[in-house]
């Protein structure tokens, strides 16, 4: 029971820098688009106005800040965790969140987001319009891939993290629909 709880907690812990990096640009982004307003040879924008330089930088900065907070908190959390479960080397590797891993989780999240937008523009999905799954998973998968030289969690952590990421999206959409903020529950 506690083992499962620890598994879920650490999966969330692993995802925090990528989640922060991915979600903060909407609050602090804007300004010059990364593609400089240019169009691809198919006539559509390369990335679109939704992907800005400031959003990218702010995302990386806050993602790294999150990682620094996590690694500072780790020595205090480890003994608490150890009261309930055996903290394995792998578990403490995630808990201590190496700063290079937090940096690469953040850069990866934002790069995955850019790649997603690139593909969305290629199939004529306008900036801001949703691309289910791609919008929710591109950033987390790219974050984990880029960070893998510094942090290689067992597949189960990635699977739980991906499931939670999709779950949060589904729940927030359902709540938005119930509150009348969204037209559709998806």
Q: Which residues bind ligand CTP (CB under 6 A)?
A: 25-26, 29-30, 48, 50-52, 55-56, 110, 113, 117, 120, 127-129
Shortest Å, Cβ 154 to ligand CTP: 29
- Which position has the token pair 């800005």? 52
The DSSP line for 130-175 is --TTHHHHHHHHHHHHHHTTT----HHHHHHHHHHHHHHHHHHHHH
Shortest Å, Cβ 110 to ligand CTP: 6
Answer whether 91's CB lies under 8 Å from 10's CB: yes
Token readout for 55 is: 């959003």
Q: Give the residue among 155, 10, 158, 7 at the shortest CA–CA distance from 96.
A: 10
Q: Sign (positive/negative) of CA torsion 59, 121, 139, 161?
A: positive
Cβ proximity to ligand CTP: between 80 and 183 the closer is 183
Total residue count of the chain as it appears in this document? 186
Cβ proximity to ligand CTP: between 59 and 67 the closer is 59
DSSP summary character for residue 125? P
Cβ proximity to ligand CTP: between 132 and 149 the closer is 132
Cβ proximity to ligand CTP: between 48 and 63 the closer is 48
Shortest Å, Cβ 120 to ligand CTP: 5
Shortest Å, Cβ 28 to ligand CTP: 8
Token readout for 35 is: 């593609």
Cβ proximity to ligand CTP: between 52 and 70 the closer is 52
CA distance 70 to 99: 9
Shortest Å, Cβ 130 to ligand CTP: 7
Shortest Å, Cβ 101 to ligand CTP: 21
Cβ proximity to ligand CTP: between 44 and 177 the closer is 44
């Amino acid at each position: 029971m506690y083992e499962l709880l620890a598994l879920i907690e650490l999966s969330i812990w692993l995802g925090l820098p990528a989640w922060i990096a991915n979600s903060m640009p909407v609050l602090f982004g804007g300004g010059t688009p990364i593609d400089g307003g240019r169009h691809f040879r198919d006539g559509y924008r390369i990335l679109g106005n939704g992907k800005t330089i400031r959003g990218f930088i702010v995302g990386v900065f806050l993602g790294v800040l999150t990682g620094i907070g996590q690694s500072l908190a780790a020595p205090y959390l480890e003994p608490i965790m150890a009261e309930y479960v055996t903290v394995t080397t792998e578990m403490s590797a995630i808990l201590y969140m190496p700063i290079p891993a937090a940096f690469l989780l953040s850069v990866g999240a934002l790069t995955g987001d850019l790649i997603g937008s690139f593909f969305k523009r290629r199939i004529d999905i306008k900036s801001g319009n949703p691309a289910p799954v791609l919008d929710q998973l591109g950033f987390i998968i790219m974050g984990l891939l880029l960070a893998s030289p510094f942090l290689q969690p067992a597949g189960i952590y990635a699977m739980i993290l991906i499931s939670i990421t999709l779950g949060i999206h589904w729940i927030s959409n359902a709540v938005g629909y119930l509150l009348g903020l969204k037209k559709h529950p998806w």
